[in-house]
Amino acid sequence: MDFELKSLSLAQAAQLPCDALLVLVPDARPAGKPASPLEQLMAQAAQAGDLDTAVGKQLAAYRPEGVKAARVVLVGVGNASVASVRKAIAAGLGSLKLPAVKKLALVLSLLDADDNTVRAAVQTAADVSYVFTTTKPSAKPRALRQVVVGVSQATQVRKGFETGKALVAGVEFAKEWANRPANHATPSHLADAARKLGRHARIKTEVLGQKQVEALGMGAFLAVAQGSAEPLRFIVLQYSGADKASAPVVLVGKGITFDTGGISIKPAAEMDEMKFDMGGAASVLGTFAALAELQPAINVVGLIPSCENMPDGRAVKPGDVVTSMSGQTIEILNTDAEGRLILCDALTYAARFKPRSVVDIATLTGACVIALGGVRSGLFSPHDELALALQQAGEAALDPCWRMPLDDEYAEGLKSNFADMGNVAGRAGGAITAAKFLQKFAAELPWAHLDIAGTAWKGGAAKGATGRPVALLLQYLIDQAAQAPARKPAGARKAGGARRAKA
Ligand code: BES
Ligand code: MN
Ligand code: ZN
């Protein structure tokens, strides 16, 4: 899909050759004599009481006089906030989802569009026209080929436009991988996708296999993988956009390509949705795809521990005790709490990059779905500054999260008589106890955890990946790039002891 940004008055929009014009109409419009065909259309409709500017309300016209486009849809956008723009475009495109609409113009010229508005417009157009076709040859591929975004002053919103395009690349990459069934998205497939990203000049990919993971002593990760016939992969991506001495942000994505629960097996209903259990990994890959497009001045590391969680004669059993890479031992009381087991070793590994921050992203707990539903991702961090930065990035990118508590009392239930800790702590506060488990492996790191179990995909008739939280992550990285580069601490410390390198 191609996007183009144009300075476009309403008079010029009428002259634009395209299949459809979507004109966003805000509550507040300039008074004055309607001079061009589109203005006249609006004025007439308004006079007749047919122009409702509430968000998403529509008035459609076919071949109106003086307009080149065959279809014109006037869509109310209310107060023209970024969220309203997204809703309005989604609603308008819903009624324009026709195979005939190949070239579309989104006319934002009546709005005081800023970078965020334009980014949201680009993102929404891609979002609602997305079609998954990889394993469905009968699916009608996306008809929309070309989208012109028309604003009053293109030069002022160029940045938002470029960010929007990069975001589309990232979100669609994430959706593609998350949507693929588990037999088309094995750990090896994910590694291949990461290697492809590594062809970009600024991205380097390294893939570790069984032997190397054993040598690293990742006993918790190995325990999860041991029940599967699919070989595990530990994927390391490095995006270099800044000076070598600039401390990177490390993103850690949960890459369980299928979660049966293992010996603590899950019930059959909706188990297919556990193909999405690599949503965190997909969001890391997607973020790298976006970085490749946007090329911001920052260093980023992506870590993806990836395997299946299967029941088998060789599978890890409830009560087994394993030694993590950190040296801490874990009693695996429930093999379905596997995400934290693969992430804890990746967090230990992350320390070697002496990061300015570490953010893990995981479809970690059903409890988070109960707590926050599908609207906001769960955010957990003991570091106020980092938590705030992620919260703000989420708000700005319309990919919101909500901060949850991390009181030490929540860790009580993780105590074990047979190991340094158990991997579960009962049903109460399940999203928080999972985060407390991870925190034991991030002790020295400026760490945050995003539980995306409720936001990474939708169930039901609209079943499919959302591409979240790529928008949040990319925004956070852009914000970090805009700050003074965080230096790696002088006299580099050993892995495991890296401290926050403050800007
Ligand atoms: N991948 C699941 C979490 C999940 C479940 C995400 C449902 C989205 C929808 C995770 O591995 C898991 O099974 N978690 C368990 C933890 C429990 C055993 C402590 C859960 O949430 O039930
Ligand atoms: Mn599980
Ligand atoms: Zn899982």
Tell how far the Cα of 155 is from the centroid of ligand 2, in angstroms.
48
Is residue 54 within 8 A of residue 68, CB to CB? The reply is no
What whole-number percentage of the chain has pLDDT above 70?
A: 97
- The tens digit of pLDDT for each residue in 362-403 reads 999 999 999 999 999 999 999 999 999 999 999 999 999 999
pLDDT over threshold 70, residue 207: yes
Residue that the structure tokens 């893990």 belong to? 360
What integer pLDDT is reported at residue 490 of this predicted model? 61
* Averaged pLDDT for residues 144-154: 97
Crossing angle of helices 384-396 and 470-482, rounded to 10°: 120
What integer pLDDT is reported at residue 502 of this predicted model? 38
Within 13 Å and on the Cβ side, how many CA atoms surround 251?
29
Asked if residue 469 has a cis previous peptide bond (ω within 30° of 0), the answer is yes
Query: Atom 9 of ligand 1 has which residue's CA nearest to it?
Result: 366
Tell how far the Cα of 326 is from the centroid of ligand 3, in angstroms.
21
* Averaged pLDDT for residues 127-147: 97
* Domain 168-492, CATH: 3.40.630.10
Tell how far the Cα of 338 is from the centroid of ligand 2, in angstroms.
5
CA 65 to CA 70: how far, in whole Å? 10
pLDDT over threshold 90, residue 97: no
- The tens digit of pLDDT for each residue in 162-201 reads 999 999 999 999 999 999 999 999 999 999 999 999 999 9
CA dihedral 209, 213, 216, 220 (to 10 degrees): 170
Residue type for position 36: S
Tell me whether the CATH fold assigned to 2-152 matches the one assigned to 168-492: no
Q: Which CATH architecture has domain 2-152?
A: 3-Layer(aba) Sandwich (3.40)
pLDDT over threshold 70, residue 87: yes
pLDDT over threshold 70, residue 156: yes
CA 494 to CA 497: how far, in whole Å? 6
* Averaged pLDDT for residues 434-448: 96
Atom of ligand 1 nearest to the CA of 363: 6
CA 364 to CA 339: how far, in whole Å? 6
Atom of ligand 1 nearest to the CA of 454: 8
What integer pLDDT is reported at residue 334 of this predicted model? 98
pLDDT averaged over every residue in the chain: 96
- Ligand 1 site residues, Cβ closer than 6 angstroms: 259, 277, 334, 336-339, 363-367, 369, 424, 430, 453
Nearest CA to 103 out of 165, 191, 195, 21 is that of 21
Give domain limits for the chain: 2-152, 168-492
What integer pLDDT is reported at residue 496 of this predicted model? 41
CA angle 380, 382, 388 (to 5 degrees): 70
What integer pLDDT is reported at residue 61 of this predicted model? 96
- Residue 490: CB atoms within 10 Å: 8
DSSP 3-state of 416: coil
Within 13 Å and on the Cβ side, how many CA atoms surround 1?
29
What integer pLDDT is reported at residue 98 of this predicted model? 85
Residue type for position 451: D
- Which ligand is closest to the CA of 262, given by its number? 2
Is residue 93 within 8 A of residue 128, CB to CB? The reply is yes
Give the residue, out of 336, 414, 452, 466, with the most ligand 1 atoms within 8 A of its beta carbon, to mutate for a pocket test.
Answer: 336
For the four alpha carbons of 219, 213, 250 and 184, in that order, the dihedral sign comes to negative
What integer pLDDT is reported at residue 493 of this predicted model? 45
Give the residue, out of 365, 424, 463, with the most ligand 1 atoms within 8 A of its beta carbon, to mutate for a pocket test.
Answer: 365
Q: How far is CA 484 from the centre of its chain?
A: 25
Query: Atom 3 of ligand 1 has which residue's CA nearest to it?
Result: 365
CA 426 to CA 416: how far, in whole Å? 13
Nearest CA to 394 out of 298, 299, 283, 301 is that of 283
CA 172 to CA 255: how far, in whole Å? 17
Return the bridge partners of 321, or none: 331
DSSP state of 271: G
Active site residues: 266, 340
Answer with the residue of higher pLDDT: 456 or 486: 456
pTM exceeds cut of 0.85:
yes
Residue 75, CA distances (Å) to 24, 88, 243, 348 in order? 5, 6, 46, 51
Residues 6+ apart with CB under 8 A from 167: 119, 122, 123, 290, 397, 470, 471, 474
CA 467 to CA 252: how far, in whole Å? 16
What integer pLDDT is reported at residue 486 of this predicted model? 75
Q: How many helices (H) and strands (E) does the chain have?
A: 14, 20
